[in-house]
């Protein structure tokens, strides 16, 4: 999915067109890919049927984080798995942002769906720049030295990053820590919802465990397009308002998410909620 703001250029919701987000992307990249709507099995089946036998894989974030945080609707990922098997298409979970964050085994574990391949990156690096992928044995055996696909690289199996990643996974992200982060995630999301309700602010909250977002649309979005209806002026006021009070609430785009880490405490959550209430009150007085 792209963060394009024009739904007209992006075509109908059930059959979106590819929109190039950056200069330097060759035409072949969009000609050889199809975009489907998240949480929309009909949109997926339409493309799989239309291009049967031509599609190698379907890649998605099982919980879409680049649109606030949009969890999968009940049954969506099960349907995705069934359709990809039916049409003989590999299912790849992009767990770059959620792997090891929403559960020790990421989205695959959380939603109990077995993809064919998984991509992982920053979330498992213990603060260092680590990337990884893995999956079914017969697919991994296609890579050198066992198979014909070459996978060389300067940083492959880099000892520093792999040690940092492993140490973080074993010693920081313990079972108890996941429980703690989930609890803080619930406290923060429900606190935000209460503030929004109290102020009658036109926003909603979506979250999955310690990740989430204030969506500046009144109803919780289920698709990227619904999230993209976000009132960008309100979001900008919120983001700069929070920064000016010493809190980085999320990355610098409306489609990013907040992230509660292993280091956060109940006090951090309470303090952030108090600051959020002040900021939203100020925005309400100024703009609404
Ligand atoms: C969901 C998702 N997948 C993949 C990537 C790209 O990851 P990398 O820079 O490790 O290739 C990003 C970038 O942040 C991302 O948000």
CATH 3.90.1150.10 placement within the chain = 175-287
Confidence at residue 244, expressed as pLDDT on a 0 to 100 scale: 98
CATH 3.40.640.10 placement within the chain = 36-172
CA 123, 127, 129, 132: dihedral to nearest 10 degrees? -40
Strand 57-60 to 258-259 pairing: unpaired
CB 254 within 8 A of CB 224: no
Confidence at residue 288, expressed as pLDDT on a 0 to 100 scale: 86
Ligand 1: which of 93, 96, 123 to mutate, most ligand atoms within 8 Å of CB? Answer: 96
Fold annotation for 36-172 = 3.40.640
- Dihedral of alpha carbons 248, 105, 39, 193, sign: negative
Q: Which residue has the tokens 């929004």?
A: 196
CA 58, 62, 64, 69: dihedral to nearest 10 degrees? 180
**pLDDT, tens digit only, all 288 positions of the chain:** 334 444 578 899 988 998 888 999 999 999 999 999 999 999 999 999 999 999 999 999 999 999 999 999 999 999 999 999 999 999 999 999 999 999 999 999 999 999 999 999 988 999 999 999 999 999 999 999 999 999 999 999 899 999 999 999 999 999 999 999 999 999 999 999 999 999 999 999 999 999 999 999 999 999 999 999 999 999 999 999 999 999 999 999 999 999 999 999 999 999 999 999 999 999 999 988
Cis preceding-peptide flag for 70 (omega within 30 of 0): no
Confidence at residue 9, expressed as pLDDT on a 0 to 100 scale: 83
- The residue whose C-alpha atom lies closest to atom 10 belonging to ligand 1 is 121
Give the position, in ligand 1's atom list, of the atom nearest the Cα of 61. 1
Fold annotation for 175-287 = 3.90.1150
Task: Note the pTM of the prediction, 2 decimals.
Answer: 0.94
- The residue whose C-alpha atom lies closest to atom 6 belonging to ligand 1 is 96
Confidence at residue 173, expressed as pLDDT on a 0 to 100 scale: 95
**What are all long-range contacts of 139-148, with beta carbons under 8 Å and residues at least 24 apart?**
139/90
């Amino acid at each position: 999915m792209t963060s394009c703001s024009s739904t007209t250029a992006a075509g109908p919701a059930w059959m979106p067109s590819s929109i190039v987000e950056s200069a330097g992307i060759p035409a072949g990249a969009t000609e050889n890919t199809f975009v489907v709507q998240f949480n929309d099995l009909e949109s997926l089946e339409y493309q799989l049927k239309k291009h049967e036998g031509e599609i190698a894989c379907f890649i998605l974030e099982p919980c879409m984080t680049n649109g606030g945080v949009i969890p999968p609707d009940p049954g969506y990922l099960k349907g995705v798995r069934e359709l990809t098997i039916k049409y003989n298409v590999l299912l790849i979970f992009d767990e770059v942002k959620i792997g090891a964050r929403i559960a020790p085994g990421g989205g695959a574990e959380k939603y109990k769906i077995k993809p064919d391949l998984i991509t992982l990156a920053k979330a498992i690096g213990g603060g260092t720049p680590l990337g990884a992928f893995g999956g079914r044995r017969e697919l991994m055996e296609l890579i050198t030295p066992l198979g014909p696909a070459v996978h060389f690289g300067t940083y492959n199996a880099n000892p520093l990053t792999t040690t940092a990643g492993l140490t973080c996974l074993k010693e920081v992200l313990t079972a108890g820590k996941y429980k703690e982060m989930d609890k803080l995630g619930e406290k923060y999301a429900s606190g935000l919802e209460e503030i929004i309700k109290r102020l009658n602010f036109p926003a909603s909250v979506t979250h999955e465990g310690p990740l989430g977002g204030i969506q500046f649309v009144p109803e919780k979005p289920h698709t990227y397009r619904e999230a993209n209806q976000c009132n960008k002026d309100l979001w900008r006021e919120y983001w700069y308002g929070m920064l000016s009070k010493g809190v980085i609430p999320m990355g610098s785009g409306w489609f990013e998410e907040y992230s509660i880490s292993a280091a956060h405490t109940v006090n951090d959550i309470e303090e952030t909620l108090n600051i959020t209430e002040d900021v939203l009150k100020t925005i309400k007085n100024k703009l609404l």
